[in-house]
Structure formats: C-alpha cells, structure tokens
Structure 1
Amino acid sequence: MMGTIQHFSHGHTLYERKYADIWRCIICKQPIIASESHFDCSQCWHNIHKICAEFPEHINNSLHLHPLSLRRSSFESSIRCFYCDKSFTEEEYAYTCKDECAFYMHAKCGSIPQPTIISSYTTGDGEDDDDDFVQFSCHQHPMALVVELGDGSDEEDINLGKKCIACQLPWSYPAYSCTSLSCPNFFHKSCVDKLPREVQHPFHSHKPLSLQISKLQSCDLCCKKDCRLIFSCREIGCTFKIGTECAFLDTIVNCRSHDHLLCLVEGASCDDFKCDGCQKSYKELDNHATFEIQLTRSFLFRCMECNFNLHFICGPLPSTIKYKYHIHNLTLLDSVVEDNCHEYYCDVCEEERNSDFRVYSCSNCQYVAHIHCLIPQIMKLIKGVNDISNDVELWALGENRWKWDIGIDEKDYNNNTQKETVRDLMNYLTQEEKEKLLQPWTLWGHNFSYRRNLYDHYKNANSRFHQLGSIEDFETISEFFQRFDSSVRDDFDYELLFYTPKEGIEIEEKYLRQKVREVDGKYKVPNTLAPILKTLLDSYGGDLGGYSWLSPAMRSVTATLLLIVIDQMCRTKIEDVTWDDLKKWLFYLYVIYRIAHFKVYPDLWELGELRRNFIRKYWTFKVIRLKQVYTNLIDEKVEYLKAESKRLEENREKFKKIDINGFLRTTALPRKKMAIDEDFSVSIASELKHKTAGDSFFEFLDKRFS
C-alpha cells in the first residue's frame, strides 16, 4: 500500500509512487530512475527519493560541535562538503550549522554514522580468552589484540607501511589489528585504551578539548595534515584542534624577544613556516645548508596565540652548556668566524659547518660545535630531565646583542596590575600627533600627491634595473654594469628619498598588544624592545635627547618606532636586504627625525649620508650576486646548447644514413608495374620541386603513376 508523508521541505502532502518517468530529487538533485520508490506532490513538481525523505531535518554530528539542519541553499563553487570534500549542485539541500558556522555537509554524508572508538567485546567460542576480539564502531571488521611479535618474523614485513587509523603513526606493539587478511587497518592499544576523552591544553585554557575521530585534518600546533584522531574545542566560534601527539606537550619555554610563552613542538611539519628569527623558511635554508638543518627541522618553537614561530636553531636555547668530551663550558653564539678562512668545521662531528648558523663555542679555546651535535644535552636543559637544572638562561637568535638587565625585577613587572599597552599609548596621542603619523608627508610641507608623483617618476626610471632576472635581458644587464654612474645613483637616491606609503606610519599588531615597560623614567616601550632601548641609552649617555616639547606618549611612540626599525635591521642579513626594506626603514627614520629629533642621527646631512651608504652597500652586494647568478646561468645555457648541438649533429648523421629507396620500395604502390631504380627518389624530388603551381597533389600523382 502506497503511503503519504508530510515533509518539512514542502507544504503539500507527498504520495509514495513508482513509475517510469524520470524526475530529479529535490533533496540530493540526483535523477529518480525508473520504478524507483519516491514521494511526489500531486499539485506541483516536488519529488523526493524515499531514502532522502527519511533524512531527519535536524541532526547532531560528531564532526561539528553545533546542531545541523537540512536546508536548501545556493552554494558558491568554492564551498565543499566537510565530509567528502566534493562540491554541491545548485539549490541542493545540505546539512548546515544552525549557529551560522561555515560548515556544510551533503544530506547523504550527514546521514552516515560517524565513527567513534567505543568498543564491544565478542568471544569466539565462549571458553578461550585468546579467541576474544574487539569490535570498534569505526571499523567494519573485528580486531584482535596483538601484544608482541610472533614466532615468524614475517609479521614485521606485513605491518611495514601500515598507519594507525587514529594517530596515523606506524605500527608498534601492542595494537588491535584487523582480523581480515585483506584489511591493513589497526589501532595502537594506547590510542583506544589510554587516551582521555578530554584534555586541558596550555594553549587553550578557557575550555577542555574533546577527543573525536574526524576526517583527515591539520593539527593547529604541529601542522601535520593527516590527523584523524584529534582533540577539538566544543565552544561556539572556536576552531582550535590538535592531534593526539600534541595533546600532552609540556615543554613550555620563555622567549625574551616574544611576549608569549612558546611550546617546543617535536615532529612538526613546518617547512613552509617563515621563522621570526632568521626571517627564512626551511625551504629557503635548504639552498644554503641542507645538512646542518636536517636533524632539527622537525623541531619548532611555536606560539599559538599569534602564530609566532622559531626554528630550533634560532629559538631559545641554553646560553651555556656542558659537553662531557670538553673540559670547559660551551657558550651559545649567533656566529663564529675563524681566522677569515672560508672553511669551518665542527669539533664534535668533524663535518663542515656554515658560519651563518648558531653554534656552541668555547671562550677558552677554539672549540666549536654544531647545534644538532648537542641535541641530547640541549633537550635535558630545556626540559629539566634527570633533575638537571633548567635555570640556565635561554637565548633566541639575536638576543645576546642587547642588555637585558634594565633595572626592574622581572617578578615585580609580571605581577604589576597595570596592563598599559602600546595601543594605550597610541590612544593617548592628540589628534595633531596622530595626524603626524598618519600623514607624515606634511612634516616636509608637502602633500601626498606631490611626493608620490616624484617617487613614481624615479621608480619608473629605475624599473628596468629592479626587474633584472633573465639572461635574455643581456643588453640591460650590460647597461647596468657599465652605466652605473652618478646620474643612475642619483635616480636611486631620489627613489629612496621620496618614497611615501599611503598608509603613513604603522605599528604592527604584535607590538600594539604588548605591555609597555618603563625605561630610564622617560620612555615606555614594548617589553620585548626594552633591552634594545637600554643598549642605545648606554651608548648615548643615558638619553636619546629629542625635542623638549614632545609629550610623554609621543616620545614613547617615536622611540618604539625607532626600536622596531633597529630590530628589523639587526634581524636581516645584508644579503637578504631588499629594496623595499631600505625604502621602509629610511622613510621611518626620516619621520622619526622630523617628529622627535633623537640624537641617534643628529642632522639631515647624516641621514642623507646613511641613505647614500644604503645605496652603495645594497648595490655592491647586488652586483656581486648578479654577476655570480648570471655567470652561472650563462654557463648552464652554454652547456645545454652544446649538448643540444651534439644531439642535433648525431640526428643529422642518422638521417643521412636512412635508406629512402628501401622505404619507397616497400611503400610505393604504382598503378602500373614499373621498375624502381636508384634514381627513383631523385626523380620524385625533381618533379615535386619543378611541378607547376596549378597542379594539385592528386594531379601530380596521377601524371606520375598513370
């Protein structure tokens, strides 16, 4: 008996039918094939598969923390189903989040029972415990507990390459292994027996994280993309999620040059991350020293609050270390260059080292060690293993050049209830002071259009030199090397001088949010930049000087801007400086001079000399790099053309040896029986060459063979 339903997608009663006409289901947008049970409306064209009609209007799904509702939506091409990662058809029904999260699932995908690691136990014959199996709800076959390797060592080969369903790590004992010989799936016993259902993570303190099995996702901490078992936040608006490997990380360290704690992540996938210390990614470092970073590239110092990252070799490492095979303590140094030679070696492994990387060195003798050669000792100090004191100071790249003793007890500073930030200082500025930062070109008595037009003119004049890149631009390259005279240098000088960003002067968010520290009673600057200011004050007699009429807030803001520029200059190696870096740094220094007149650069003439020195240094290094790069490119091109020429000569000789007559004897099909002599191909070629333009190819063949 045919039934009727009242479906939430339609206002009329729907009737169950079977007939041969082909319709399209309103829910899944798929055809309703002939004789397939479905529901339709007798008053309008509303058809639904019977199975689609049974999808509930509201569901809870373990892949999302909020309730989902089945709705019809107009989907953009970029929106994909969270479960199957396939796109939606136009006006398709889908399960969407009731709290307006950007979460979408196909109706059929939403109806699939989601896996959990809840297990039920079954017994093979009811008598022997060895026959017990475990049936997990996320796996279709029973699984047997394998505690240790059996008598046959073939098991190791069988399990090679397998990955745990939950943590995606390789096989290890004990494990629950699928009883089906054709199924490679298994669970580590620890993944299902010991993992808690909730964890509290130091980078997610406001709510515990819940354990869930999901589709493959990326861990927010180590950035691995193949996590199926994750801990995620169930709070509205929070998308924090981590893999099980990162759920119990407890190595948290303090970094002086960053305002948040850092977590030491082991086993990270971070080749694309730009290190905030050396300003490079591992992919960029690969071109310089693959060997020296291989053993540490999976370690990462990471701040989850603001996506701040440091390579292990650039991160907060013990400032001193004791190595059992050397009598003296070793000190962490950012770089060691010995005797102006070009080859440097590690005294631990006796392998070559790159002088650009940090090392541990002995101050009493010429003993130098790679960072990666001392990893066990470094880890013990960072983690405080075996009661080894972790009171040793940790230094990140570049921190040892500044004076960190600024006369304030760190505990008193951290316990200070006053939470004044750089953003507060910006709010203290008057409207006139703010306009000097937002429209700094007025400090020169100019308007924006005037300065920008001058800048654009000189930028365009220099563009042919800035865009050098291909050896096909050889004429421009030659001009660059031969005509780099005073007029060309003047064009570059004016491009730097008139650079004017439309946004004016800006302070990055990572500084705006920082609490300020008072230094020398006159300046309030971000905590991480205070040591730089202390070092400057010691160099200039305890005072930067400046205009006496500056307000305390403006004095602190301009001092902060100066420290930011100095910090960026110190973190960028000469060979990595870009033309855009120079423009920004000089522009900021000019504005700081105009506003504050700090005695770091006492007059405009000295700033002009600094600008011209920037140009000389920048182009000196660029010329050296260009000559080396283009020489290598030309050498590679010459070698390629030589190989190509040799290949063509060999092909030419092969073509000369081809037996054309033999080919014609086997393929020619004359209408009349005729002899094919040695001059046959010659006569063909002659006739082709001298045939009249009016003849068609068919007419030529007809004349030749008829």
Structure 2
Amino acid sequence: MKFQHFSHHHKLIFREAYEEEYECAGCLDVINGPAYICEDEGFAMHKVCAAMPPQIQKDAFHPHPLKFKLVDIIVCDACRRFSANYIIYKCIYCEFNLDFKCAVAIINDENEIAKRDDEDLRRTTTPHFSHPHQLTRCKVSPMSELGENIFKTFWQSSKLKCVACKLEVQGTLSFICLPCKFLIHESCMNDMPMQVLSSPFHPHHILHPRPFFNAREQVRCYACRKKVNGFSFYCNTCDADFHVSCAKYRTRATKHSCHPHNLLQLGKSIIKGISCHACGRKTCNDSIFSCRKCDFNVHPKCIPLPSSFEHKRHLHPLTLTSPFAEDDSRDYYCDMCETERNPEIHVYYCAECNYIAHIDCVLSEVRQL
C-alpha cells in the first residue's frame, strides 16, 4: 500500500521496519513495527503520525487554525519544551506553535498534553540583565539523531551550551531568546552576580555585565582564549571580556621559581587546547599552572614540586595528587586554610585521613622527604 504524505515528495510504502532503525519524522521516536517508509531516502512515519492532517483546529485549545511547517526549532506553547522538529504546527495568524507530539495529543487525547506538561514549565517570560530581549522559560528536550541534524542546520552545532557555565543544557530548565540563539540555565541566571568584584584573572578592576548579540567581530575570553557568545563580564578600562564561568572561576595564585609572575592553577574546564611549555602536550586532562599575561603554561608535574612531604600541621606525609572530588556534595574545602577549593586542580592529599590541602597553602612550609 502506497501513501503520499504532505511532508514528503516521494510516495511511502507501508511495511515492517525489519532490522533497520528508523526515526519517525513526526514524533521523532524510533520506529518498532510497521510504518510508512520511503525506500529511497530513509524517511519514515508511524501510521498514527502519518494520519495527522496538514492543518488542525480545535477552538477549545486555540481559536485559530494551525498549519504544518517543516523543519523548525520552537518552544512549544503547550508543553513548554524547546526542541528541533521535522514537522510543527504553527498558527496562521499569531505566534502560537505546537510540536508534533502535542499536536497529536490535541487531536487524539487532550489528557496527553497534561501528561507531557510539567508544573515547573508554566509559561514565563522575563527580562534579565544578561540579554537585551525578554527570555522565555523552557525545558530543553533530549535530541534524537534527526533532531541533532536539524539543530546543526539552524545553530551550526548540535551541542547546545549555556552562555554562563558553558555546560550543555539538554534536559534542564533554561531560559532562551530564540531569535538570538541565547540559552542560559535557570540556575545560572538566578545565581549570576550583577558584577564581579575581584576575578582571579583580573583582580585589580571590577567586571561588569556586557550583553551583546550579532557581534561583527569575534569576542574572545581573556582567561580561556575561547569565543564568548551572547554575554560577558567586561573590564572597560582594559577592554577585556570574560566568560561568566571564567570570571567567577575558583583558583589561587601561586608563586614558583619557574616563572617571575604569580601562576594561577587552572582545571580541565578551562585548559582545553593549551600547551604545556615544558612537555608540549595539549591533550592533558589534569590541571596546569598558568600566567595569562605571558601565556605561560606548565603542568604541576613538569616543574619542581615535592611529590611527597611532611608538614607541621599534619601527622602523615602529604602526596601531590591529580584533581579529584572526594564525594558528590559539590562542596569541597582545603583542610589547611578552610576555604573552598576547586576539585579541578591538583592538591596535596593524605589518603589515610582524607586530608586535602591547596598546593600554595603548603609550598612555603614543606620539608622534602
């Protein structure tokens, strides 16, 4: 049985999917069982999805007709999910959008909308100093293979990252400005300071928020040297931009004879692609000591640091240890100075007592074994 669907130019054959793995062009779920399939291009749809009309209207849900549109990225006005879709339904008179699953639910069973909805996803738009436009609250849906390809078309990347922490946003509550491709975790937005009084990368001047979009020139972070998208903390005196996560990065300045300036110890979230001046390696997941002013970088194990030492404040020898987190609490402290420490950087450690100390806390008082 052949079938012509409004979203595809070839006729579709209804058959079992067999061992091939097809994603439905409608709901984007993997197909198990019989489906309408295009043999030439690998296009496939569930029978129930293929039965959806090109235009729908249900006055109790929305007063205007909703017409299909192919290949788009939307925040669905029913379930508040941000997703890439091969087929969406868009109001012909206003800005109302439905993703395909919610459109199917409205036609077949409106209770399914309630099942997809989430009490944390009430329609919310809000201003924020990180962006000049209103931001819309949403949940970023996990992506299928087809969804990833659609995102690559619109965003030039399938990895959607928060402008503040630079981590992926899939499966999280976030705020978005869709026209500007601006995405930020809700938690990052709520925790963002109005200014950074003393960044370890720029301790002498206060950093102020600077939103920007459609920048003609590429903006680079002074700390990690990577591209800054959409928002930065900025020093007007020095004309220096910083990622939010870099401006607030937790590290400490250490003095060492290998370099005339103080060195900052940086971890894996900031050192990708940075070469060690001693061994030349770039592919290192450990921390480095870095002078950003001179672009001097060196691994802790590539400079003269005692691998083990005794300290007057502890009974047992302390050993230089690669970055680690002793638990999943996200609250990590130096037992010597009793201040917060960054689990991305090297420490001195006593495994017998689970005693952890910053390198700079002990460097001036070590006695080589």
**TM-score, reference length from structure 2:** 0.42
Structure that is richer in strand per residue:
2
Which of the two has higher C-alpha Rg? 1
The structure with more helix, counted as a fraction of residues: 1
